[in-house]
Amino acid sequence: MEVTTAEKQLLAAPEPQSRLSELLGQDNVIVTSVEQVLAWAQGHSFWPLTSGLACCALEMMACGAGRYDLARFGYEVFRPSPRHADLLIVAGTLTWKMAPPLVRLYEQMPESKWVIAMGSCAIGGGPFVDSYSVVQGVDKLLPVDVYIPGCPPRPEALMHGMLTLKEKVMAAKRRGGKK
């Protein structure tokens, strides 16, 4: 079979340098800081807590399932116990009756931990904002790192939110920030 000019050029091109091989250079040694390594490890392996409250929980489950695979980012390990989790995704409407258990869940999670407010109910009450029993936004009670708008947000939006959180985690460590 004839090899075209374009294919010859492609075959002759040098191997693209990956960032890791750039870093490794010739000595197989990388010099970095502990914070950066920790940030790289934490950002690439969030362990979310199974804290789905309402409809958004279904999109979270769909994101963890086969089609919108969260596992390729390292985030598929949804832990039932807060002691093992480091990411609280508040997916759904938070009511005042559920608020003390949720805050207790957050307090039970060990440091470092992050909170994602998924869906408009968690961001600001959503369609139930003027109800008597709904907390108007999870950030009234917990420090939120990433807000994912939508009602419910598509699984791709949740992925984008978690990747944004990864960027946040890795950027903070690079600047020497606390989280």
Binding flag, residue 154, other proteins (CB under 8 A): yes
Closest CB 99 distance from other proteins, rounded Å? 9
Distance CA(31)–CA(33), nearest Å, equals 7
Closest CB 46 distance from other proteins, rounded Å? 18
Binding flag, residue 48, other proteins (CB under 8 A): no
Q: Can you list the pairs that 65-68 forms with residues at least 24 positions away whose Cβ atoms lie under 8 Å?
A: 67/155, 68/155, 68/156, 68/159
Stretch that binds other proteins, among 13-21, 23-31, 35-43, 44-52 (CB under 8 A): 44-52
Binding-residue pattern over the window 78 to 97 for other proteins, x denoting contact by CB under 8 A: --x-----------xx-xxx
Q: Exposure pattern of 58-73 as b/e (b: 16+ CB <10 Å)?
A: ebbebbbeeeeebeee
Distance CA(76)–CA(118), nearest Å, equals 17
- Contact (CB, 8 A) for 174 and 132: no
Helices 56-64 and 155-175 meet at what angle, rounded to 10?
80
Binding flag, residue 98, other proteins (CB under 8 A): yes
Choice between 129 and 163, CB closer to other proteins: 129
Binding flag, residue 160, other proteins (CB under 8 A): no
Binding flag, residue 141, other proteins (CB under 8 A): no
Residue 95 CA from chain centroid, whole number: 24
Choice between 43 and 153, CB closer to other proteins: 153
Binding flag, residue 151, other proteins (CB under 8 A): yes
- Contact (CB, 8 A) for 122 and 158: no
Q: Which residues bind other proteins (CB under 8 A)?
A: 49-55, 57-59, 61-62, 65-67, 80, 92-93, 95-98, 101-102, 105, 127-134, 136, 151-152, 154
